Chains A and B, each alone.
Chain A
Amino acid sequence: MAELTIQTDAASAPLAPSTADRLLDVQAPQRPLTTPTFTIEVDGRQVTGHEGQTILEVCRDNGIEIPTLCYEPKLPGFGACRMCVVEVDGEVQPPISCSRTCEPEMVVRTQTPRIRQIRKTNLELIFSDHNAYCLPPCQNKCPSHIDIPGFLKANAEGDFRESTRIFKRTIPFPSVLGRVCPAPCEEHCRRDEVDEAIAIRDTHRYAGDQVIKDQARGTKAPVPFEVQAPSGKRAAVIGSGPAGAAAAYYLAIAGHDVTIYERDPAPGGMLRYGIPQYRLPKDEVLAPEYEGLTDLGVKMVCDAELGRDFTIDDLQNQGFDAVTVAIGCYDTNALGIPGEDAEGVIDGLEYLRIATLGLPYPGHAGTSVVVIGGGFTSMDCTRTSIRQGARAVTLVYRRDMKDMPAANEVHEAIEEGARAIFQAAPTRVVTDKQNRVTGVEFQRMRMGAPDASGRRRPEPQPGTEFVIECDRVLLAIGQGPELGWLSRGAAGVTATKNQRLAADSVTFATGRPGVFGSGDARVGSATVVEAVADGRRAAYAVDAYLKGMDLEAIRTRQTLAEPQPEFLSIVPYTSEVKEPRIRLKAMPAEVRNLSYVEYEIPYTQQEAMEESKRCLQCTCEAIGFCDLRRQGIEYGTTLQTLEPARTGLSFRSVTENRFTGANHDYIRDDSHAFILREPSRCIDCGRCANVCKEVVGAACYDFMRTGFDTLVTTPLDMSLNTTPCVSCGRCAETCPTGALMPKPRVLEKYDVDESRCILCGICVDACPYDALRCGPDFELAHESRAEPMIDLMAIAAMDRDTEMTYVRRERDWLERAQASGRQLDPGRLLPMLPSGVASNGDGHRHDENGHGGGHAHAK
């Protein structure tokens, strides 16, 4: 008190103590204020640390990232993972930052090559004994990264609506893609290691078709995400093809007011005017799927062409906050050979445009046609020509058949009567005196060294010329975008060297603020699925732009959001039962040649479910939460063996790193109701053991065994049910990988059967959220369980039996609630119960009301 007086006297103008000052006076001194601080140097930066802090804490406080796997912020540093090693000046052995206390004047380096090498070695060592995988290869390989195991699981349960919803999270058109996608996913399916790849495309086609059937009955198609509240921003999308439509779809879900401008009389772009009816029925499939756009309030302005009817300037003047150009590629490349201007040389796209309108191309019947090119357009030209009655159709491609983009369709064309010639390139068009085509001269090609695309470069062989006689030549050798509009009212938007729309591959920004470019116009002609993927990514970038985010921040976020190359596939599939793929049946070639009717016979429901069930679900539920994966990506320990592709290396060699050797294959433990243990994914960081011991006090886990076989597990690997586990879930929360997971389940709420309760109170003790309480007579308090009880965790893959039980309980609860007159939202229930498992599905006895024997309800 005396000191205080002196201080007050010393001040020349003593202030009346404010309320805040008085509060400060009566408060105990706050620790951070009294902890001495000092500066240390980290990576050349002077940062402030408090006495007693570890290097890691100081770095994290100052935004310097040091990777950790075993560090649990609630506990002192443990030192098992060795990822947080740093260099400290004057020390030979690099210390670990999580348990090293800071000292004044310390000089720390966190990212030296030596340190990064140690971390990388650690990660590689972990991966060499990490008997697990991250993304399934199919999802990784899909340009749009659809959650394929997710929708296949829903399919297998017969829930095609949910399957479609999952699909629409990344691609809005499951039925369209179910017909026109080249299905790169199927090339990499792990089921191929057992017997045959899953028919991924055909199964989502079936699911999409069911939704279309429902739409015909008046049920709207599912929307993948909750539609956001209107943002008040207006976005224009130019072009309604796959890229434009996808961009519009996701922008509309994000709450923006979207208008699509379409050149043609009807939306769809290449889907409508490029792909023939027999591959993609327009009214039956395309139109209903595009209804999803109008359902979301997307406005469609047709017959409005960029450059002719309006300019970019016009749109921005009309108040559009963002303009996305997705005009596709419609300019067919020229051959650059003599005679190209002859009568009878037809642009393949022009030809298809007429044909897809259902009109016969003038004078096509009875002619002899040569189609030049190897892509989907050439295939469509070939097969449409056959359907239009051409006498002979010859497809000529300059590379080998296996290097053909449309390789998987060529056998169907041959089946239908076309002739295919490979490794030949046109040298001139032979004409008669009236400049009419009479044939095409070709030169044989030899396959040389691989080029940038990984395919072997064709080299001409002089002296091997030959002529194919014909009346018509259809050119389908690739297209570029029409960019004439760039010169009018589009200042700032530019073209690239090779005549594509110049737009960033991540932020999709063109040179003009608020204008974005996406789809084929940006990348050149590609597949539908690539265009859709590009459109979706563009939508996320545009959405971020409309929300006022920094474009460079978008770049980081987008890069992180996209899946990275595959990690591991140690697991040999030896014990799986072989069940061959169910193939789509097709009409015989003689029949399908006569019409534009879709020639593939779709699955039955039984077939679609059976085929979907073949999925091995080779995906990790911890994707997106896994620290190991994140650091593996950062330190480049990812294994990119799926990538080298066509250069003669194997697609699917066992992925290895330099340490690959013995590894452990542990048994998954799903005996506990809440916590799923997958020890093969455990990296023995000890976090669960420490948290369980030090924070919870239960001590269910510890390091067991020694040496290479050390594993953090329960004593004797017993079930968690027999440990003192209180089901708090903190172990799953702290686990840096997917070794401990909250058990996925369907149920959102529990109900209690009071007639069976013995008032033991264990549930009250165990509940981590105090959702249950002891009542006056030690009974479960009614108010705490009357209505919403326990919200459970995220839903991903799930254990079937548990799920069945809970679905049934859920349904029983719903019935009771309705019987008692309570109003309930049926949408709250997840309709996961497959048909055919009505009441007595999996060995449980049920009474006539469908109530599970052990789960009778309160009256």
Chain B
Amino acid sequence: MSARILPGAKGWPRVLLSRTYDPDAGLAAAERAGAWSAWRTATTDLGPETLIRLVRDAGLRGRGGGGYPTADKWRICRAQPSATRYVVANGYEADPGSATDRTLMETDPHAVLEGVALAAFAVGATRAFVAVRADATVAVRRLAAALREADEAGLIGQDALGTGIELHIELRELQGAFVVGEETVLLRAIEGKRAMPDQRPPYPVVKGLWDEPTVVNNVATLASVPWIVTNGPTAFRKLGAADEPGTALVHVTGAVKRPGIMEVPTGTSLKAIVKAAGGATGTLKAVLVGGPSGGFLPADALHTAYGRMALHEAGAIVGSGSVLVVDGSACIVELATLLERFMSDESCGKCIPCRIGTRRLVELGERFTGGRPRPTDVQLLSDLSADIRDGSLCGHGITAPNPLTSGMRYFAAEFEQHITRSTCPAGVCAPLRVAGGVA
């Protein structure tokens, strides 16, 4: 799925999509646009410690949803008493409804690779992996080409830039369930094992790929690093929200006039994001922020800032970077059940709350939409959601109840209509009984 890149609102800065070059035109074109200059600076003028300090001063946080300070992650990894360390760039965009990472890798593959190289240099890794979905064929082709060119040009390799730095970057095409996007799952998948998570802690930064310290960063995080090196941490800090400066790629879809991907400074309100996508086509009923395991926010919560903490408080997540605009023709109960079904089917099946619990959530949702709710179901939904959230092994299970719980939180009336009166206000849930008669 290739998505259109939107210009965004006036005055929005560009970091990730700042370079404009033809990615198929070869390394020279990319270098003219500024690629690999940060890498040269870092390896010749800065040391790893300085590089980490730069990133720390920039306040860069993980863009994959976790929001952990990138410099801290690197520092911890660097401090591990191990001869071998790895860097993994997480470009496995699991959400089928979002193409932000893919677009980034297609538009500026060199920035991603340069970020990987910088991270590896910072933590002292000699091997790094870029994990990409196998079906993102354009991204894979461009990354592979960029990697080959960088290697041939001596930018990376046995003796990168003649500085004696050894760095090998490998491209890994992976295919699997939604849960592969979780970092420990991704590591197992790279190792060639069944894609199932491991309990954290120990975090990958202590015990990761093949049990060695491993930095796992989202490709968008890594692609920000060359910009920071080039433009300096102060410039980066000025972008976006104070607590997590920078920009994020957001994929706006659904009932908007101009769906597509835009680079948004963190802290921008959802309202502004929707407006930059041309606004809703009809009445905006809700926005689903964060992908299938994200949360529904109602129209009157559109002032929420697009940032990790604010979204968390509102009941959603940054997640895959998707913002799905829902108009009045959709039934939140039905949509939440659909998403829950996706989460259940995509579970790896390792831990019980996620494997069986999410399935029971689906069954609850289907009872609501099918007009067969039990009197205890509302309580059961809230109890079970809490136990799944607290009991699950990885982020997949922890966030899985979000669609239903956020739906219940903001669209309680719509749920109640389904549960107590067996009617669907949106007219979507077909087999519901009509009040007082036969369907």
Q: Which of A95, A122, A708 has a CB less than 8 Å from the CB of B359?
A: A708
**Contact across chains for A82 and B355 when beta carbons are under 8 A apart:** no
Pairwise interchain contact B177-A706, C-beta atoms closer than 8 A:
yes
- Bound CA span A117–B353, Å: 12
A702: CB under 8 A from chain B? Answer: yes
The residue on A at minimum CB distance from B356 is A125
In the complex, the answer to whether B198 meets A118 with C-beta atoms within 8 Å is no
Cβ contacts under 8 Å, B363 to chain A: 661-662
Q: Given A79-B393, A658-B376, A707-B349, does the pair A125, B360 have CB atoms closer than 8 Å?
A: yes
User: Contact at B348–A126, with CB atoms within 8 Å?
Assistant: no
Closest beta carbon of chain A to B271's beta carbon, Å: 30
Chain B 291-309 near chain A by CB (<8 Å), digits 1 or 0: 0000000000000000000
For A129, give the chain B residue with the smallest CB separation.
B356
List which A100-128 residues lie within 8 A (CB) of chain B.
Answer: 100-101, 114, 117-118, 121-122, 125-126, 128
Asked if B349 and A710 make an inter-chain contact with CB atoms under 8 angstroms apart, the answer reads yes
- Tell me whether B398 is interfacial, beta carbon within 8 Å: yes
Task: Establish whether residues A686 and B391, one from each chain, have CB atoms under 8 Å apart when the complex forms.
Answer: no
- With a cutoff of 8 Å between Cβ atoms, the chain B residues found around residue A96 in the complex are 199, 393
Q: A707-B345, A707-B347 are in contact. Are A118 and B352 (CB under 8 A)?
A: no
Name 23 interchain pairs, CB-CB below 8 A, sorted by A.
Answer: A79-B199, A79-B351, A93-B398, A95-B199, A95-B201, A99-B198, A121-B353, A121-B384, A121-B391, A122-B353, A125-B353, A125-B356, A126-B352, A126-B356, A659-B360, A661-B360, A684-B349, A684-B355, A702-B194, A703-B349, A706-B346, A707-B347, A708-B345
Which residues of A sit under 8 angstroms from B350, Cβ to Cβ?
79-80, 684, 686, 703, 710
Q: Is A94 part of the binding interface, using a Cβ–Cβ cutoff of 8 Å?
A: yes
CA distance A100 to B387 in the complex (A): 20
Proximity string of chain A (648-686) to chain B, C-beta cutoff 8 Å, 1 when within and 0 when not = 000000000011011000000000000000000001101
Cβ-defined contact, A703 with B194, below 8 A = yes
Q: Are B349 and A705 in contact (CB under 8 A)?
A: yes
- Closest partner residue, chain A, to B364 (CB atom): A661
Set of chain A residues within 8 Å of B392, measured between Cβ atoms:
82
Is B246's beta carbon under 8 Å from chain A? no
Q: How far is the CA of A441 from the CA of B350 in the complex (A)?
A: 72
Residue of A nearest to B349 (CB): A710
Chain B residues whose CB sits within 8 angstroms of the CB of A114 once the complex forms: 390
| A contact patch SS | loop
The answer to whether B355 and A121 touch across the interface, beta carbons within 8 angstroms, is no
Query: Which residues of B approach A to under 8 Å, CB–CB?
Result: 177, 194, 196, 198-199, 201-202, 344-353, 355-360, 363, 376, 380, 383-384, 387, 390-393, 398
- CB-CB under 8 A from B357, the residues of chain A are 121, 125
For residue B352, which residues in chain A have a CB less than 8 angstroms away from its CB?
80-82, 122, 125-126, 683-684
Which residues of A are at the interface with B, using a C-beta cutoff of 8 A?
77, 79-82, 85, 93-96, 99-101, 114, 117-118, 121-122, 125-126, 128-129, 658-659, 661-662, 683-684, 686, 702-703, 705-711
Docked pose: A81 CA to B384 CA in angstroms: 16
- Cβ of A711: which chain B residues have Cβ within 8 Å of it? 349
Chain A residues closer than 8 Å to B344, beta-carbon distance: 707-708
Query: In the complex, given contacts A121-B357, A706-B348, what are 10 additional A-B residue pairs having Cβ atoms less than 8 angstroms apart?
Result: A79-B351, A85-B391, A101-B201, A121-B353, A122-B352, A684-B349, A684-B350, A703-B350, A706-B349, A708-B356
A80–B344 alpha-carbon span in the complex (Å): 16
When A and B form their complex, which 4 residue pairs have the shortest distance between CB atoms, in order from nearest? A710-B349, A79-B199, A121-B387, A708-B359
Report B-chain residues with C-beta under 8 Å of the C-beta of A81: 351-352
Task: Kindly state the separation between the CA atoms of A93 and B395 in the bound complex, as whole angstroms.
Answer: 11
Q: Which residues of A contact B199 (CB under 8 A)?
A: 77, 79, 95-96, 99-100
Which residue of chain A has the shortest Cβ distance to B343 in the bound complex? A707
Q: Which residues of B contact A702 (CB under 8 A)?
A: 194
Across the interface, name the chain B residue whose C-beta is closest to A123. B352
What are the residues of chain A within 8 A of B356 when measuring CB–CB?
Answer: 125-126, 128-129, 659, 708
Shortest beta-carbon distance from B436 to chain A in Å: 29
Report the bound CA distance from A100 to B355 in whole Å: 22
Interface residue from B196, B347, B380, B391 paired with A658 (Cβ < 8 Å): B380
B347 contact set on A, CB distance < 8 A: 706-708, 710
In angstroms, how far is the closest chain B Cβ from the Cβ of A301? 60
Closest-by-CB residue of B relative to A685 is B352
- Chain A residues near B391 (CB, 8 Å)? 82, 85, 94, 118, 121-122
Count chain B CB atoms within 10 A of each CB in A81, A686, A710 and give the residue with the most. A710
A446 to B216, CA, bound (A): 77
A108 CB to nearest chain B CB (Å): 15
Query: Which residues on A sit within 8 Å (CB–CB) of B177?
Result: 706-707
A94:B390 contact, CB within 8 angstroms: yes
B390: which A residues are within 8 A, CB to CB?
A: 85, 93-94, 114, 118
Hey, which chain B residues are within 8 Å of A658, CB to CB?
376, 380
List A contacts of B351 (CB < 8 A): 79-82
A131 to chain B, nearest CB (A): 13
**CB of A463 to closest CB in B, whole Å:** 45
Closest residue of B by beta carbon distance from A98: B199
CB distance from B231 to the nearest CB of A (A): 36
Which residues of chain B have C-beta atoms less than 8 A from A93's C-beta? 390, 398
**Residue on B with the closest CB to A93?**
B390
Asked if A710 and B348 sit within 8 Å, CB to CB, the answer is yes
Q: How long is the Cα–Cα vector from A122 to B347 in the complex, in angstroms?
A: 16
Are A703 and B201 touching (Cβ within 8 A)? no
Q: What's the minimum C-beta distance from A92 to chain B, rounded to whole angstroms?
A: 9
Residues of B within 8 Å of A94, CB to CB, are 390-391
With A703-B348, A707-B345 given, is the CB distance from A82 to B398 under 8 Å?
A: no
Chain B min CB distance to A224 (Å): 40
Contacts of B349 in A (CB 8 A): 684, 703, 705-711
Q: What chain B residues lie within 8 Å of A77 (beta carbons)?
A: 199
Chain A residues contacting B398 (CB-CB under 8 Å) are: 93
Q: Which residue of B lies closest to A85 (CB)?
A: B391
* B353 and A707 contacting across the interface, CB-CB below 8 Å: no
Residues of B within 8 A of A79 (CB): 198-199, 350-351, 393
Give chain A nearest CB distance to B369 CB in angstroms. Answer: 15
Q: Are B393 and A80 in contact, CB atoms less than 8 angstroms apart?
A: yes
Report yes or no: B393 in contact with A82, Cβ–Cβ below 8 A. yes
Which B residues are CB-close (under 8 A) to A683?
Answer: 352
User: What residue of chain B has the Cβ atom nearest to residue A81's Cβ?
Assistant: B352
Most B CB atoms within 10 A — which of A101, A702, A707? A707
Note all chain B residues with C-beta closer than 8 A to A99.
Answer: 198-199
Q: Give complex CA distance A610, B228 in Å.
A: 84
B201 partner residues in chain A, CB cutoff 8 A: 95, 100-101
Taken together as a complex, chains A and B put the C-alpha atoms of A303 and B313 apart, in Å, by 84
Minimum CB–CB distance from B41 to chain A (whole Å) comes to: 39
